[in-house]
Amino acid sequence: MAEHKNRVALPGSERSARRGSRVVGAPDPNEQIKISVRVRPRQTLQNLASANELTATPPHQRKYMSREEFAAKYGANPEDLAKIEAFAHQQNLTVIEASQARRTVVVSGTIAALSAAFGVYLANYEHPDGAFRGRTGPIYIPEDLTGIVQGVFGFDNRPQARPHFRQHKRHPAPPPTAYTPLQVAQLYNFPAGLDGTGECIGILEFGGGYTTTDLDTYFQQLGMSTPSITAVSVDGVTNQPAPGQDSPDTEVMLDIEVSGAVAPGANIVVYFSNFTEQGWVDAITTAVHDSVHKPSVLSISWGFAEGQLIWSAQAIQAVNEAFQAAAAMGVTICCAAGDDGSRDQVDDGLAHCDFPASSAFVLACGGTTLQSSGTSITSETVWNDGPNGGATGGGISDSIDLPTWQANANVPPSVNPGGRIGRGVPDVAGNADPATGYQILADGQQGTVGGTSAVAPLWAGLIARINQKLGTPVGFLNPILYSQLANANALNDITTGSNDITGQIGGYSAGPGWDACTGVGSPNGTAIGNALAGASAAAPGH
């Protein structure tokens, strides 16, 4: 490892060994890898905190920035990018890309050269989830780059994402109630006469892929044409279907089929990336700043529990800043809250929230069990099938503070020691129980699938319809959601159930108003659209 002479530790870059992993050797020093270096914005993003886009200002009164305007004002300073490029050349590294909008310089080189340039030691690890290349401790940068570099991603490729879907597998059990997405949209009173025309739904995927044949068959079965679907490669990852048990293809197809069914007029763009910290940062910044496809809503059905053992501080900062940029540009982010109840698949005896659903700049989507008769809802409760069947994620964030727009939601103290009151998750909910799941087609197989993975694209499709109705993007919904929509009979309040699946950790229970299982409730889509439009501001569909 290189000496740290004239080097300083990069704040927030510290990583710890992943629990349950062990070192099994060293990577090939001659292996070529790519590193993403993220730099500071031209102006501090704190100036955005009081902007209309982040307050309860109605959508038609907000002044969203174009992607070009945002890049010019809050993107990277070209001089900063030039300094990173100069450093890379001094270290015999190759500059692959320099993006002012994404504030990112991508460099490549051998593991030996990159490790020396950034003062890190890499090792190969084994873990029950799979082998990975990892590091511990901080990353080191030259003193003259202090304050310029905010994050360095790509050395550590430990798995950083898991899909939040659940397949119906109860044996023995009665057959599930399998809804089509159209039936769920009807039960939730999605606004009629709208199909998302003129909108773009971006979907982030960290594995698997889709086949056009399956999609054509699926939408033909629903009696509709296949929506426009485009795949975008991030960090060299492409649309790669991989059939098999619990294949991520199921996640990809679920996301496309649910959002495409409820908003068939929208363009759907699928961003494929690695399920690593670098993959997350690069995928989100690519999608948010995509000036070609210009998504107006993003659906993210992947996540991982909060915590330094999984997410580094620099990654959380980069992801949150990208979401904040999205809000300024009128992009709504819908994130699945997780499928493992209040523990979020971490067996340390504590409750955990899922990130990025716990970000203060996203619409976190929890899960319910939805029962119906005809076109009417007869019962809706918190989805909780126990430790083997899954349950909605939700809780109190350990790392994200209580947002101002959630101050009056009566967010309770965390069930963890100390009783912290932080960001409450989720914000909204929707049908997620595999026993009342969604009919989908993946890898040629029909199936019934649930999980909060289905709720994020469902809400994304609803937002696309409402954007079309308004003639302007909804954008960051949360301030309006808590201050106006929750009190306008625009949501179905879920008051029964809990997300404690172990009986040991302690979870959260549903009740009147906001709760850490289903947020402020499931949607009454037409009422939400009407409330957002307002009597005098209503715009005709286009």
Nearest to 528 by CA among 495, 486, 494, 478: 486
CB within 8 Å of 303: residues ≥ 6 apart: 161, 162, 164, 335, 336, 338, 354, 355, 356, 357
Which tokens in the block code for residue 427?
């914000």
DSSP state of 515: B
Nearest to 434 by CA among 390, 371, 381: 390
Nearest to 431 by CA among 372, 508, 480: 372
Helix, strand, coil % in the chain, rounded to nearest 5:
25, 25, 45
Nearest to 253 by CA among 215, 279, 287: 215
Strands ordered across the beta sheet of 94-99 = 94-99, 104-110, 32-39, 149-153
- SS3 label, residue 342: helix
The total of other beta-carbon atoms located within 10 Å of residue 18's CB is: 18
> Residues 56, 58, 61, 63: what is their CA dihedral angle, to the nearest 10 degrees?
60
Chain centroid, CA 449 distance in Å? 19
**3-state helix/strand/coil string of 384-424:** ECCCCCCECCCEEEEEEECCHHHCCCCCCCCCCCCCCCEEE
Helix (H) or strand (E) holding 203: strand 200-205
DSSP-assigned beta bridge partners for residue 270: 203, 231
Active site amino acids: 251, 255, 453
Length of the chain: 542
Judge whether 60 and 472 are in contact, CB under 8 Å: yes
Judge whether 367 and 392 are in contact, CB under 8 Å: yes
Chain centroid, CA 46 distance in Å? 22
> Residues 304, 308, 312, 314: what is their CA dihedral angle, to the nearest 10 degrees?
120
